[in-house]
């Protein structure tokens, strides 16, 4: 039997590539401040919806990771391509890490458990040890579907091309200010929004369901991530396409799936309604 390294994760090695990229982008926030305008802010917000909601939320998470709905290949590849511009690693690495998180949540095999503290779960796990760069055997175990898909392999090969193209288009439209806000600020905002799902939404909020982890429903994270912050609902039934279960749990990503369904772009949508307790359980801060 092959040795699967995620069962004995290491934290000694520093991931210099990821550390350099993340530090460099944060340094670029300084000149971005001097290029603020309402137009550039709008570029950032629209870009964050395209990349963060359609790309990461729908593409990486609900479609590729959990297969909560079925989409034609052209749409799957489009959503995946949009997600690459989040600079949260290649699709197969992102998906493998998230599937591992669900299987081993809040254990020493969880890539970003909050049991090791807020900052480890939020971003430090990216800088040290295995992070998302698992060994070949681990990827074959967790993402065999993506490794065999020729379209996904092509996207993986040209991972950085979409964001480079977007930078050129933004420069043509609005100069360096548009690039800084449409690429740098948008990417950093997307990073921390996604990381808040791993940190805040496992530490602060309400627990509707008694799951075998610390997941919570956090309205602030849900607002930032277009519905991904209803995380306790999600952990109660990971393959469900719908995360916001109550009328007040706004879930824009679920609304997008419904629109895709009306257009004939989504089918076999999984919707689960786990039995709810009579009283919501509060998560201690």
How far is the C-alpha of 274 from the C-alpha of 199, rounded, in Å?
Answer: 24
How many domains are contained in the chain?
1
What pLDDT shows up at residue 274? Answer: 64
What pLDDT shows up at residue 192? Answer: 98
Is residue 106 a part of any domain in this protein? yes
What pLDDT shows up at residue 275? Answer: 66
Q: Which residues of the chain are under the pLDDT cut of 70?
A: 1-12, 274-285
Give me the helices (H) in the chain, please: 16-27, 29-33, 38-48, 73-84, 91-103, 118-119, 125-127, 136-142, 144-147, 150-157, 161-179, 186-198, 219-224, 231-236, 252-262
Is residue 230 a part of any domain in this protein? no
Is residue 30 a part of any domain in this protein? yes
Is residue 196 a part of any domain in this protein? yes
Q: In which domain, by residue range, is 70 found?
A: 18-205
- The phi, psi pair for 217, rounded to 5°, reads -95, 115
How far is the C-alpha of 179 from the C-alpha of 170, rounded, in Å?
Answer: 5
What pLDDT shows up at residue 53? Answer: 98
What pLDDT shows up at residue 5? Answer: 45
- The phi, psi pair for 275, rounded to 5°, reads -65, 125
Is residue 261 a part of any domain in this protein? no
Is residue 253 a part of any domain in this protein? no
What pLDDT shows up at residue 264? Answer: 97
How far is the C-alpha of 48 from the C-alpha of 189, rounded, in Å?
Answer: 8
What pLDDT shows up at residue 6? Answer: 44
Is residue 213 a part of any domain in this protein? no
Is residue 227 a part of any domain in this protein? no
pTM: 0.91
| Helix 38-48 × helix 186-198 angle, to 10° | 40
């Amino acid at each position: 039997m092959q040795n699967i390294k995620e069962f004995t994760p290491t934290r000694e090695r520093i991931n210099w590539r990821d550390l350099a990229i993340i530090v460099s982008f944060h340094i670029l926030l300084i000149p971005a401040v001097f290029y603020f305008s309402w137009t550039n802010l709008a570029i950032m917000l629209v870009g964050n919806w395209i990349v963060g909601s359609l790309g990461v939320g729908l593409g990486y998470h609900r479609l590729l990771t959990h297969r909560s709905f079925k989409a034609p290949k052209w749409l799957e590849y489009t959503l995946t391509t949009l997600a690459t511009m989040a600079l949260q690693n290649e699709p197969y690495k992102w998906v493998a890490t998230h599937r591992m998180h669900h299987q081993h949540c809040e254990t020493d095999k969880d890539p970003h458990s909050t049991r090791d503290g807020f900052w480890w779960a939020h971003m430090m796990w990216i800088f040290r040890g295995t992070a998302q760069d698992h060994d070949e055997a681990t990827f074959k175990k967790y993402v065999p579907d993506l490794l065999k898909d020729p379209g996904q392999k092509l996207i993986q090969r040209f991972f950085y091309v979409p964001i480079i193209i977007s930078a050129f288009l933004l420069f043509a439209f609005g100069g360096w200010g548009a690039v800084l806000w449409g690429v740098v600020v948008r990417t950093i905002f997307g990073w921390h929004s996604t990381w808040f799902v791993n940190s805040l939404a496992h530490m602060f909020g309400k627990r509707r369901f008694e799951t075998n982890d610390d997941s919570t429903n956090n309205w602030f994270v849900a607002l930032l991530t277009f519905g991904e912050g209803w995380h306790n609902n999600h952990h109660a039934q990971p393959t469900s396409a719908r995360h916001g279960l109550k009328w007040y749990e706004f879930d824009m990503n679920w609304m997008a799936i419904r629109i895709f369904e009306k257009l004939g772009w989504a089918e076999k949508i999984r919707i689960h309604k786990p039995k709810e307790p009579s009283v919501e359980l509060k998560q201690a801060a």
